[in-house]
């Protein structure tokens, strides 16, 4: 086998996905997992966790021939670079400025662009065309915009729903910490229900309000959602009809293939 191990390192989770390169550029995602992001975890701890997950699906480290990584957690870069080299005997391909994306990055400073946002834009463009808005419900919720000219214009960043809930708990002494979940009713009959309804529907309203404005500037844009809370929140919004939980992993596959093919052409 010739597997590509795609790794998306976020502030909350490290998401890993496996693609079979022998099945071509449209190879489906074979399997995926989530690990808690920890800056204290060592190369061997990440390595042993990954090996156990692979073996649970009948795969071995020797099946992994390539590794591609996007990360928004710089302290983990040397750890994961060593992890790929030690456990899979390959130098990882990092998503960073200068790689071939097929997008024109039309923002003030392309060096500031988070790797995950770039990957989402590339994957969304390949799947749904342009104009495009990708909404990623992660630790922060990001809105990324691609226009009809396939230019990445930038976007918006707002605190994620879990951050909002935690801030409410920390700053209001009489309010408890509550679970993020779809509330049973709009009008809460106790404090917990009231908090859950306010957080949930307040967040849905915020998402719809931003998308209302974006669609005025980019009429007809495809709206696609990804990220951990996408399946929970998207059905309650007015504009999101496409939910792609694996969009970032698919973008990592596409970017690895694009840059690998270009490198072969130049060789």
Q: Is the pLDDT of residue 264 over 80?
A: no
**CATH 3.30.420.40 in the chain, residue ranges:** 3-94, 104-249
DSSP assignment of 97-164? TTS--SSEE-SS-GGGS-HHHHHHHHHHHHHH-SSEEEEEESSEEEEEEE-TT-EEEEEEEEE-HHHH
Matching residue, tokens 């792609």:
244
Which CATH architecture is the domain 104-249 placed in? 2-Layer Sandwich (3.30)
Kindly give the residue spans of alpha helices, DSSP state H, lying in the chain: 43-56, 77-88, 115-128, 161-171, 191-217, 230-233, 247-266
Question: How far is the CA of 112 from the CAs of 1, 96, 104, 140, 256, in angstroms?
Answer: 37, 10, 15, 16, 21
Residue 107 is predicted with a pLDDT of 93
Residue 263 has pLDDT above 70, yes or no: no
| 212 tagged catalytic | no
Catalytic residue among 8, 44, 63, 116: 116
Task: Report how far residue 79's alpha carbon sits from residue 73's, in angstroms, rounded to the nearest whole number.
Answer: 11
- Which tokens sit at 54? 């692979």
Whole-prediction pTM value? 0.90
Per the model's pLDDT, the better-predicted residue between 210 and 179 turns out to be 210
At 142-179, the pLDDT tens digits run 999 999 999 999 999 999 998 888 888 888 877 888 88
Asked whether 119 and 244 are in contact (CB, 8 A), the reply is no
CATH code 3.30.1360.10 for 3-94: no
Mean residue pLDDT across the chain: 92
Q: Give me the mean pLDDT over the 124-138 stretch.
A: 96
């Amino acid at each position: 086998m010739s597997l590509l191990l795609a790794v998306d390192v976020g502030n909350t989770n490290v998401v890993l996905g496996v693609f079979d390169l022998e099945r071509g550029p449209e190879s489906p995602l074979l399997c995926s997992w989530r690990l808690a992001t920890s800056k204290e975890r060592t190369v061997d701890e990440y390595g042993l966790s990954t090996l156990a997950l692979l073996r649970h699906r009948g795969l071995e480290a020797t099946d992994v021939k390539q590794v591609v990584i996007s990360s928004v957690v710089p302290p983990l870069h040397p750890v994961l670079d060593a992890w790929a080299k030690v456990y899979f005997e390959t130098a990882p391909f990092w998503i960073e400025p200068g790689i071939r994306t097929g997008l024109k990055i039309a923002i003030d400073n392309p060096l500031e662009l988070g790797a995950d946002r770039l990957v989402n834009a590339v994957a969304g463009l390949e799947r749904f065309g342009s104009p495009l808005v990708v909404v990623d419900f992660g630790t922060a919720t990001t809105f990324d915009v691609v226009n009809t000219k396939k230019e990445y214009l930038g976007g918006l960043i707002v605190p994620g729903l879990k951050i909002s809930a935690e801030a409410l708990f920390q700053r209001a002494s009489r309010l408890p910490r509550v679970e993020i979940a779809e509330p049973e009713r709009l009008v809460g009959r106790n404090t917990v229900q009231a908090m859950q309804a306010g957080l949930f529907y307040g967040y849905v309203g915020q998402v719809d309000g931003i998308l209302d404005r974006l669609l005025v500037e980019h009429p007809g844009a495809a709206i696609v959602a990804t990220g951990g809370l996408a399946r929970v929140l998207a059905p309650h919004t007015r504009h999101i009809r496409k939910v792609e939980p694996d969009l970032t992993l698919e973008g990592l596959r596409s970017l690895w293939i694009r840059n690998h093919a270009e490198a072969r052409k130049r060789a």
